[in-house]
Structure 1
């Protein structure tokens, strides 16, 4: 069986038809040829766009010369009401300063230190699902579990905390109010130029940021009083930039917490939901994960035994990368596979297409966790696998996400069996790759 894949659009459509399709779903708005092309050029009245699937071009943009290809605001414009000037949206010296403060929180033994909170979130997810077996949409539960992980590891509070739950509820309202593309961002202009967001987008973003501000201000007080828990928020808020000696202000920390919640909750929820669907499609792999999961415990060392779970989760990230496209911008004229790209061109890097590229991967649309042990899989993992981006801007929480994904998968599959229903999910891209109408599975207790 082949896992669900969205249909491709007709080869030729008008610009306005393309923009309409793009706002509805960026995956089905693309032509089928992108699964084979090394590069594709798109011309608009305002700029040129180049989708790069050639591993050498991807390497040039992300690893070799990242400063020459900063993030484009054509995607970020849609996220700015919620994320402000977070590390996800900034470039240049502002971004480098933010990473110097944030990165130490995820280095060294920090994963071991936050693992008990992660495991407690897994136990809570098992308890919730035990009270709600039967046919259900698993996306809400994976969202709930991932949000619980973030709040426990970041602020040492469970999702049941009043403020944490309010942020979670508001985010569910926010995530589908704003398309991933803000059409006004297609028109060249300064950053201050209005982008005309929906009122619901601005209101929900303001509500979320207000709640996060309250959490951050309380933590500032606890840090000054010497009573703050030793979690990720405390670590980040007390880390000084080694070059300037400055720490984040409250407003800056609110921006960062917003992206931690988005990146650490929404992306993990997407990946986990698709992983459970794949487990239902391929029950032989589900049983392998369940057998291996008997080894998992509250001891961090047990994570090293989850090899099958990691390979399964890695394969789910390949087929359903939570962030399907990334956009960079040229700061000077470039030559891309013999084509001249002027300054200000958009370089689109698409994990969705790169991970399924027919000229790179063996059986690219198949689910096969054993591929990571093959020569083709190893080569592609090195050159054509970017679920967390790559280079200096690689997601700082990539290691965190891989532990979280394998752990939650193992804990839930150990207790429950996931089976297909008559509803086949259709992948669409909103903030992340989700299912158009949910991912419905029959969940039963194992005996």
Structure 2
């Protein structure tokens, strides 16, 4: 346990009883602070209105049932899809049933274990580029908005591993810029998933959301069509885009067409960029908050003197720290499923069409499951409580058949970039600038995460600048 008495920040819970319209207003501002404190202890909570039922579940047995044992009974809610369709189309994140199963059969081979070793050089090149950008900005010490840094490097990782182009590429740069604007304009979860709005009621988007989504998709279309042309010409690089475009469904023998590929690239960018950026930003903040852990990771990062993929296996503390940051600040704080038929939860009838809300945010801090649930303690993963909770109450990447196919990719990326940054810089909190978690597309800070960066002196084994 850290010697610091400071607790990582979390949003203040709302009062227990509020009117429906007060709840709607709070929800629109931030879904995290709109929830009552009792959800950190409850096994299940029900939200009921004349035409709407919603059940938030925290009990591990119910989580297992919904995600692992009966996933076809609890498909993704189409109410969520309505909010994200302008950007994601019919991507694997939104589809259900046979369409989803076909998409996963084509996508999953690209993220198998052996592929991590192949994508590692591009991932490391993006991390090294981020270090150089920070060096030019920081000098002898400067205040840096960390979410901007992590968004940039996470986007660079995606473009290098997916399309073999750096973020400096003109198209890649514009996608990144527009996606940053989109991220702030669109809440993760459509209001209709939590409040009793009729399905026929039109969904309204904040200004700029639809135009940005349209432009992002147009840019992704250009990248996709260029890659398809390169494949036909026989000179396409061996990256993730090529792997996915050339993989056939083992059942039908079909491949993704151009439109389907655009949908999938959109979700790869969302899942691989947004979530990684969020997780890395909060991890860096925690390292500034707990400097004793920062120093341990800096020492461990010496393993990165070896440039090969094998160095990742030596970043054990970095992985545990990143895993703990994902517990405290899961990038996707809530997921929504829908009951496709009547079921029973905890002796309570759940009607067909009811929304089933799974909340990593509350599950990961549940007072009846975790030891010291609000505390930062990377050593918990070696304890019996930590091991059990990791199996039963830890779902930053979801679980079961719909687990994120890039979960392994994300864990390597997180440990690598975290270690690279701490190897080259000391970071410290800015007094009076504690971040406040809020949910946009992912869990971000209300006013950014501002940290002080100071370059470390290179070790004797590292080359010094001669300029």
TM-score under structure 2 length normalisation: 0.94
Which residue is equivalent to 1:175?
Answer: 183
Unaligned ranges ≥5, structure 2: 1-5, 458-467
Q: Output the aligned Cα RMSD.
A: 1.1
Spell out the pairing of 1:29-108 with structure 2 (5 A cutoff): 29-108=34-113
Match of 2:400 among 372, 385, 391: 391
**Inter-partner Cα distance in structure 2 for 1:3 and 1:56:** 28
Q: How does 1:269-280 map to 2 (within 5 A)?
A: 269-280=277-288
Q: Return 417-426 or 37-46, whichever deviates more.
A: 37-46
- Provide the rounded CA distance (Å) in 2 between the counterparts of 1:20 and 1:44: 17
Moved segments of 4+, more than 6 Å: none
For 1:431, the equivalent position in structure 2 comes to 441
SS state at 1:401 partner: helix
What pairs with 1:100-249 in structure 2 (closer than 5 Å)? 100-133=105-138, 134-183=142-191, 186-189=196-199, 194-249=202-257
Displacement after TM superposition at 1:183 (Å): 4.1
Which deviates further from its counterpart, 157-166 or 14-23?
14-23
Q: What's the CA shift for 1:194?
A: 4.1
Deviation at 1:338, TM superposition (A): 1.0
Asked whether the equivalents of residues 185 and 207 of structure 2 are also in contact (C-alpha less than 8 Å), the reply is no
Quote the offset at 1:124 in angstroms. 0.3
Question: In the TM superposition, what are the counterparts of 1:301-380 in structure 2 within 5 Å?
Answer: 301-380=310-389
Instruction: Select between 404-413 and 126-135 the one with higher mean Cα deviation.
Output: 126-135
- Asked if the contact 2:27–2:191 (Cα under 8 Å) also holds between the matched residues in 1, the reply is no
Q: Residue 15 of structure 1 contacts residue 44 of structure 1 at CA under 8 Å; is this kept in 2?
A: no
Distance 1:394 1:401 in 2: 13
**Pair 1:256-2:261 in alignment:** no
Contact 1:35 1:357 in 2 (8 A): yes
Question: 1:199 Cα shift?
Answer: 4.6
Please say which of residues 16-25 and 278-287 is displaced more in the overlay: 16-25
* Structure 1 residue 174: Cα displacement: 1.1
Looking at structure 2, the residues matched to 45 and 230 of structure 1 have their Cα atoms a distance apart, in angstroms, of 54
CA distance in 1, matches of 2:367, 2:288: 25
Contact 2:220 2:266 in 1 (8 A): yes
Stretch of structure 1 that moved more, 281-290 or 194-203? 194-203
Counterpart for residue 300 of structure 1: 309
Q: 1:24 touches 1:179 (CA, 8 Å); kept in 2?
A: no
Residues 9 and 434 of structure 2 are in contact (CA less than 8 Å); yes or no, is this contact kept in structure 1?
yes
Which digits, 9 at most, give the CA deviation of each residue in 1:199-252, with x for residues without a partner?
Answer: 511100000000000000000000001100000000000101111111101110
* TM-score using structure 1 length: 0.98
Tell me if 1:24 matches 2:29.
yes
Aligned residue for 1:281? 289
Deviations 1:258-317 (A, max 9, x none): 000000000000000000000001000000000000101320001000000000000000
Distance 2:106 2:369 in 1: 37
* Separation in 1, partners of 2:300, 2:49: 51
Q: State the shift of 1:24 in Å.
A: 1.0
Structure 2: distance between partners of 1:288 and 1:294: 11
Measured in 2, the distance between the counterparts of 1:135 and 1:189 equals 46
Equivalent pair of 1:23/1:180 in contact (CA under 8 Å): no
Aligned residues: 445
Q: Distance in 1 between matches of 2:420 and 2:204?
A: 44
Separation (CA, whole Å) in 2 of partners of 1:437 and 1:83: 27
Unaligned stretches of 5+ in structure 1?
Answer: none
Question: Partners in 2 of 1:204 and 1:290 — Cα distance?
Answer: 39
**How far did 1:368 drift?**
0.3
Distance (whole Å) between structure 2 residues aligned to residue 349 and residue 183 of structure 1: 15
